[in-house]
Structures are given as C-alpha cells and as structure tokens.
C-alpha cells in the first residue's frame, strides 16, 4: 500500500470503514439468559460436480451459471471436470465461494435473456487467474486482486483453474453505490484500497459460518460502506462521467413505471417522453433488462404475484392478469411460470404466509440455486 493510499484510507469518514458494524459473536460474553437459545446461523447451500460422469459434470456446472453467463469447456478431453460452489443469501447481496477447473465464459446476448440477471460482480481470486475482454478494455487479475464485471454488458473471458469469492451487488442497492461501481466496472482494483476490500471480503467469507441472522444488518451496512470507500474508478474509464447521470435516469424511470404500473397507456414511448431522452438513450438504459417493455412486464408479473398471494384479494386470476395488461390467459400463465417457476393457480392455491417472489431455495435443485438467488436479488 503506497503512502497516498494510506492517506486516502485515513481520510474517509469513519462510517465507511467501520468494521465494528460487522458483529461477530464472542461466545465468552454470551448472556447466561441467552445460552439455551439456539443461534439462527446463516444457511449456506453447496453444490459439486463430484461423482457425476464427465459430460454431466460440465453440463450441470454450465446450467448452474446459465442465468448469468455462457460457459464453454476448454478441455473437453480431460477425464474429470471439478466444480464446487457454496452460496450465502445475504439479503441485499449474494456471496459465492467457487472452485472451478479451466473454462471460457461470455455474457449472454440480450435476445437470449428471457429473464435477464443484471448485477455487478466483485470477484476476489484466492488462486488462479481470470482474463476478461470487454468492449473497449481487456484486463487480468490474479490472487488477492478484485475484478468488477457488469452482467448486463458484453464481455468474454477465460478463467484458469481457480478458487474465488464472488459478491453479487444489485444495481438498485443505492444510487451512490451504482455510480461508484458503474464508473469502475470492467476493471481490476489494483490500488491499496482495492487490496483492503479484498482482505475484507476474504475475512467475511471466513466468518460467515459464525454469523447469525441478527448480524445481517451490520454486515450489509459494513459491506456497502467498504464498497464506497475502496472502489476507485479507473482513470481511463471512458464512461465514468456517464455513470451517475445514467443511474439517476434509471431511477426516475423505475419510479415512473412503478407509479403507472397498471396504466394501459404505459409504454416505452411514454417513458421516453417523461424522461426527455432519445430512443437510443432509453434503449441503452434498459438493454441489460431486455428492453423497457420486458422490464415493465416483469414488474407487472411481480405485482400479479403479490395479488395472488394476498388472502384479501379473491378476484379471478384472469381479472388480475387483465388488470396488468395480459388479455390472453395462456400468455399470462406462460410468462408467470417462466418468472417464478409456478403457475398462477399453484401460487393462488399455496395461500399467503408472505410473498416469496421466487421459489424457495430448498425447493429447487442444487444447480438451480444460484439462478434463483440472483433473480431474487434483482426482484
């Protein structure tokens, strides 16, 4: 860490670097009254290709990442493909510990992305190497370095046999976070502050088995503060000035869509006029979501899910669908099942008990869990 980095570190407000926010239980200080209570530790979900045939090993690994990446087998003639994944649902974030043999990866073309996942990934390599080629920039990271990718943009790359931690950060976490990560996407954090974030994330990964649900608010606050404090935009990033503007426009668009969700006149042209921007600018804003109308439909499906699980809303399913712009019941049923994994009638019959907008992790196969978590994070 250079003298400049140390001075930068010291100059940040205490709220940005307060590791005390990440409370780890000290079992020597447990209140005796609480001793008999079983702590609610954060659950983790594991998945491995071990024990499968060679073709099935890569196939299941490929399927696990299908909602976010297209994977290619670079060594199909080897006798074994090893992949291991451990996932934690942290509410506002998802953290994954991943071990993988060598492979190639690429972002998903927009026309393939039926239910596009658009997050930033902050990847800390524990071993191995990742090389990425984005539209205007190629970069490589090794152990201890942090890479920032945007799943909604175009890129390709290669990963050697590696172990890594991947933090998935949703675009709507906050405008401040979005501007910071948007300015630094497709770069390696090679500064002392970047190394500080790497150390922090590794420490979080090691401590997660000891943390409980009550620690989550502190963990989320600490992680967001560390992102703001440690992520420095690349000096040569061509879109740095566009990041804050684009995120403000996107937030305004989201508020507009939500406020007029049931308005039959809601359209991409209406959104464009209200924002006062060109069609090209609007397309670029919503391209990671599959377009404006795809985004509107997804928000309407979420609204329909909420209505179907509301015990006080006993309207017929077709009435709920029609209110949200679906004149064809079969079309509504297909779109609904693609989004949530259940038909509208299955959701209605399951009754209330909260509004889970995605299938429970325990209800899906191991290879589907990453996709379920990432869609839930986006919901």
How do residues 308-326 score in pLDDT, each as one tens digit? 888 888 899 999 999 999 9
Q: What is the pLDDT of residue 351?
A: 55
Interval 162-204: pLDDT, tens: 999 999 998 878 777 888 888 888 999 878 788 889 989 999 9
- Greater model confidence, 23 or 301: 301
Model pTM greater than 0.85? no
Nearest to 93 by CA among 204, 187, 214: 204
Across 366-379, average pLDDT: 76
Interval 89-98: pLDDT, tens: 998 899 999 9
Q: What is the pLDDT of residue 241?
A: 39
Does this chain's domain 3-230 share its CATH topology with 242-378?
Answer: no
User: Which of the residue ranges 107-116, 183-192, 195-204, 211-220 would you say has the lowest mean pLDDT?
Assistant: 107-116
Q: What is the pLDDT of residue 17?
A: 36
Q: What is the pLDDT of residue 360?
A: 61
Q: CB–CB of 184/148 below 8 Å?
A: yes
Interval 37-86: pLDDT, tens: 566 788 889 999 999 999 999 999 999 998 889 999 999 999 999 999 99
Q: What is the pLDDT of residue 255?
A: 84
Structure token digits, residue 106: 């690429």
- Average pLDDT along the chain: 79
The answer, yes or no, to whether residue 340 has pLDDT greater than 90, is no
DSSP single-letter state for residue 212? B
Q: What is the pLDDT of residue 37?
A: 56
Q: What is the pLDDT of residue 115?
A: 52
What residues have CB less than 8 Å from 233, skipping those under 6 apart? 180, 183, 184, 240
Would you kindly state where each structural domain of the chain is located, as residue ranges?
A: 3-230, 242-378
User: For the domain with range 242-378, which CATH number is right: 3.30.70.20, 3.40.630.30, 3.30.420.60, 1.10.10.60?
Assistant: 1.10.10.60
The answer, yes or no, to whether residue 269 has pLDDT greater than 80, is yes
Q: In CATH terms, is domain 3-230 a member of 2.60.120.10? A: yes
pLDDT band at 116 (very low <50, low <70, confident <90, very high): low
Q: What is the pLDDT of residue 178?
A: 82
> Percent of the chain having pLDDT more than 90?
35
**CA–CA separation, 47 and 45 (whole Å):** 7
User: Which of the residue ranges 9-18, 46-55, 257-266, 282-291 would you say has the lowest mean pLDDT?
Assistant: 9-18
In our burial notation (b when 16+ CB lie closer than 10 A, e otherwise), range 63-94 reads ebbbbbbebebeeeeeeebebebbbbbbebbb
């Amino acid at each position: 860490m250079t003298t400049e980095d140390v001075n930068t570190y010291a100059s940040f407000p205490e709220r940005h670097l307060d590791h005390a926010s990440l409370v780890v239980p000290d079992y020597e200080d447990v209140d005796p009254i609480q001793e008999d209570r079983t702590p609610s530790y954060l659950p983790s979900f594991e998945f491995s290709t071990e024990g499968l045939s060679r073709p099935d090993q890569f196939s299941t690994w490929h399927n696990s990442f299908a909602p976010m990446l297209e994977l290619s087998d670079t060594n199909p003639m080897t006798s074994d493909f090893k992949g291991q994944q451990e996932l934690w649902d942290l509410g506002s974030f998802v953290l994954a510990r991943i071990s993988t043999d060598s492979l190639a990866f690429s972002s998903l073309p927009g026309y393939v992305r039926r239910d596009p996942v658009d997050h930033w990934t902050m990847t800390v390599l524990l071993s191995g190497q990742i090389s990425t080629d984005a539209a205007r920039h190629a970069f490589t990271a090794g152990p201890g370095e942090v890479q920032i990718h945007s799943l909604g943009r175009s890129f390709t790359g290669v990963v050697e046999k590696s172990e890594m931690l991947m933090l998935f950060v949703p675009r709507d976490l906050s405008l401040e976070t979005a501007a910071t990560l948007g300015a630094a996407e497709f770069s390696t954090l090679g500064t002392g502050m970047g190394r500080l974030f790497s150390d922090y994330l590794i420490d979080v990964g090691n401590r997660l088995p000891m943390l409980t649900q009550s620690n989550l608010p502190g963990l989320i606050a600490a992680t967001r503060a560390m992102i703001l404090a440690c992520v420095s935009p690349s000096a040569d990033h061509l879109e740095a000035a566009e990041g804050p503007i684009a995120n403000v426009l996107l937030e305004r668009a989201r508020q507009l869509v939500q406020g007029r969700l049931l308005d039959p006149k809601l359209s991409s042209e209406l959104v464009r006029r209200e924002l006062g921007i060109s069609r090209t600018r609007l397309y670029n804003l919503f391209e990671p979501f599959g377009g404006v109308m795809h985004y509107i439909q997804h928000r309407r499906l979420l609204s329909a899910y909420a209505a179907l699980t509301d015990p006080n809303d006993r309207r017929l399913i077709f009435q709920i669908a029609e209110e949200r712009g679906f004149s064809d019941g079969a079309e509504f049923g297909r779109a609904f099942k693609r989004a949530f994994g259940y038909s509208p009638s299955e959701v209605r019959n399951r009754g209330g008990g909260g509004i889970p907008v995605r299938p429970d992790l325990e209800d899906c196969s191991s290879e589907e869990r990453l996709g379920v978590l990432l869609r839930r994070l986006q919901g």
